[in-house]
Amino acid sequence: MAEISKIERQVMASVGVIYTARKLVSRTAIEIYVLAASALALWQLVWVHKVFDNFFAVEKNGIGSTLNYVATAVGHTNPAVQLTLFIAAAAFVMLMVDMAKSTDHSHPFAA
């Protein structure tokens, strides 16, 4: 069996670096980075444990109370928190759309 030459190793290493770099800056990877950064920012901006304590106290009263709580909580937060929530929600929705597209195996018949 022939041994791999130095040039072949260099070419394969370059291909590996390019492949990895493309995966790290793909659209899905960037969406994950944005979602993670938003979650970390929210963790710093909001007392998350208090939000969950209040949410679980309210959710026992039904969906109406829960929706009212969420609307009031978001409406009365700092604009930085609102912006971070919006960015996180957009990244999450885009990830879900990507996931739905990747799992959709149905192909419509040609008309």
Q: What is the pLDDT of residues 9-67, one digit of tens each?
A: 999 999 999 999 999 999 999 999 999 999 999 999 999 889 889 999 998 999 999 99
In a domain, 43, yes or no: yes
pTM beyond 0.85: no
Q: How many CB atoms are closer than 10 A to CB 99?
A: 11
**Is residue 111 one of the residues assigned to a domain?**
no
Cβ atoms < 10 Å from Cβ of 96: 11
Number of domains into which the chain is organized: 1
16 inside domain: no
* Mean pLDDT, the chain, integer: 90
**Per-residue confidence (pLDDT) for residue 26, from 0 to 100:** 93
What is the span of the domain harbouring residue 30? 26-102
Q: Is 2 left (phi over 0), alpha (psi -120 to 50) or beta?
A: beta
Q: What is the pLDDT of residue 89?
A: 96
- Domain-embedded: residue 55: yes
